[in-house]
Structure 1
């Protein structure tokens, strides 16, 4: 603060803004004095340092689990933050962009005893919603694929790094699932530039399947999401919510209706919650 030469100078800055507890998907412009901007940074610093600490703890645990998983354990990293804007070659050349998008759920699994080798997955749908019903649907499909590959699997450990948006540009941890996502998008882009049509999730999947055999790419239909919601909607309406669930980065299932929560995987302070 003492080294700021002109605290009253007016400046502009950009930051992510929350509304009703949800982070907006766009950056908001703010205008104020230098000292106002610095104070805003000061307020965010403690949370930033905590998030970096958690990221490092989770990353270390992630590497440890992969290296020490036994023959009946599968370690799975997932990501469901990406979408792809559909367009054909004529739209690209005319600078007209379609607003229609498809959602992409990516995953990579390591099987115990296999070293660093694993399997890549990309599940694509026309549904743009990212809620608990869509996530459950994708995970159920993924689990069935895992069981088909490893029938004697006894434990599946899921990892997904969730960070505030302001940290996503500073911390890169997702790695392989980001790579899968980028690869699929690149395949489709190359296909479109070569004249292929891509106006739906089905056509997106078809292009990817022609381009790669190493990534298992599948289409998820609307009916599958509807089935999940129909089965679980009433259940979720009546269930008791887990306290401070957004702050818990480690959840261990102890029984069908009992979980153990912690701020991060190796944290000694844990609590058990029964539904």
Structure 2
């Protein structure tokens, strides 16, 4: 009995010491985000498994994380640049100043170029390309009218169609363009019937998909503008549509250049205003990509040229 009582007393003392040590451990230990040491060990093991095996890469990543979370001050990147000698810099600069390396425009030519570029009135350009069995023709028709509306389009078509009359044995004209409604749709549909009647020819019009109308006519316009700009750079003056045509003709003879004058546009406006009053709205205009003149006042509309379904509009 004495030994049992002694054992119980000593065990009680040990338990008290253990509780006190455990209490002191929690008091002196800084607070942790982990509830237990086991959860901390699991997180550490998982993080360590995700780190690269290379010790150098591990060090870089850990250092970056420590800097990100403010455990250590961020290191300043030391930029290293190659210092070139002043003589080498001057030699390179003088090399590119040579006339056989870089062409230098004289100052008075530069001022003239800048003035000609900015101090002019804007104008528009109507471009067209004609395919035929015999030969092909390119058209660039500048105009001081920047509205580029249906009357300008009619004036441009008149110039192109007049040239087509010089081509022998033309029985049908099939036009392709983008789907700009203000230029080639709506009221323009009514104008197609008039053109087919006056020219006594089969006429149809195909439209590209919306925003996909890039074709050879865009290249023709870009080519002519580049040629005119190159002429301006060497002293040419371009202040009007006439100057534009003059400079372009000096650079190329393969493109037909004719100005659409104000008189041409006014004449088209006078002729078409009454005709457009009889025009009708066409349903699903945006979806229609093929139009064909059937009769004097009748048009066939199709979703595309080979579509079997069609809608007929009679004016």
* TM-score where L is the length of structure 2: 0.52
2:295 maps to which residue?
Answer: 255
- Distance in 1 between residues matched to 2:239 and 2:250, nearest whole Å: 16
- Distance in 2 between residues matched to 1:237 and 1:90, nearest whole Å: 50
Q: Structure 1: state its 5+ residue gaps.
A: 1-87
- Corresponding residue to 1:242 among 270, 282, 297: 282
CA contact (8 A) 2:129 2:136 kept: yes
Deviations, residues 154-180 of structure 1 (Å, cap 9, x unaligned): 11100013389xx74xx5x53311110
Give the superposition deviation at 1:223.
0.3
1:140 maps to which residue?
Answer: 158
CA contact (8 A) 2:145 2:262 kept: yes
State yes or no: 1:101 paired with 2:113. Answer: no
The size of the alignment, in residue pairs, is 180
CA contact (8 A) 1:91 1:98 kept: no
State yes or no: 1:153 paired with 2:170. Answer: yes
CA contact (8 A) 2:112 2:235 kept: no
State yes or no: 1:124 paired with 2:164. Answer: no
Kindly tell me: are residues 235 and 193 of structure 1, through their superposed partners in 2, closer, same or farther at Cα, counting changes over 3 Å?
same
* TM-score where L is the length of structure 1: 0.59
Give the superposition deviation at 1:242.
2.6
Deviations, residues 72-128 of structure 1 (Å, cap 9, x unaligned): xxxxxxxxxxxxxxxx9536547973462111111111113x4xx511111111110
Kindly tell me: are residues 127 and 95 of structure 1, through their superposed partners in 2, closer, same or farther at Cα, counting changes over 3 Å?
closer
**Matched residue SS, 1:122:** strand
How much is the aligned-residue C-alpha RMSD, in angstroms? 2.6
1:59 maps to which residue?
Answer: none
CA contact (8 A) 2:120 2:240 kept: no
2:226 maps to which residue?
Answer: 186
Q: Structure 2: state its 5+ residue gaps.
A: 1-108, 182-209
Query: Which structure would you say has the larger Rg?
Result: 2
1:267 maps to which residue?
Answer: 307
- Distance in 2 between residues matched to 1:224 and 1:258, nearest whole Å: 27
Kindly tell me: are residues 91 and 263 of structure 1, through their superposed partners in 2, closer, same or farther at Cα, counting changes over 3 Å?
farther
- Distance in 1 between residues matched to 2:268 and 2:115, nearest whole Å: 40
State yes or no: 1:111 paired with 2:151. Answer: no
- Distance in 2 between residues matched to 1:109 and 1:197, nearest whole Å: 30
2:269 maps to which residue?
Answer: 229
Give the superposition deviation at 1:245.
2.7
Deviations, residues 10-51 of structure 1 (Å, cap 9, x unaligned): xxxxxxxxxxxxxxxxxxxxxxxxxxxxxxxxxxxxxxxxxx
More strand by share: 1
Give the superposition deviation at 1:199.
0.8
1:68 maps to which residue?
Answer: none
- Corresponding residue to 2:215 among 170, 175, 185: 175
Kindly tell me: are residues 251 and 187 of structure 1, through their superposed partners in 2, closer, same or farther at Cα, counting changes over 3 Å?
same
Give the superposition deviation at 1:237.
2.2
More helix by share: 2
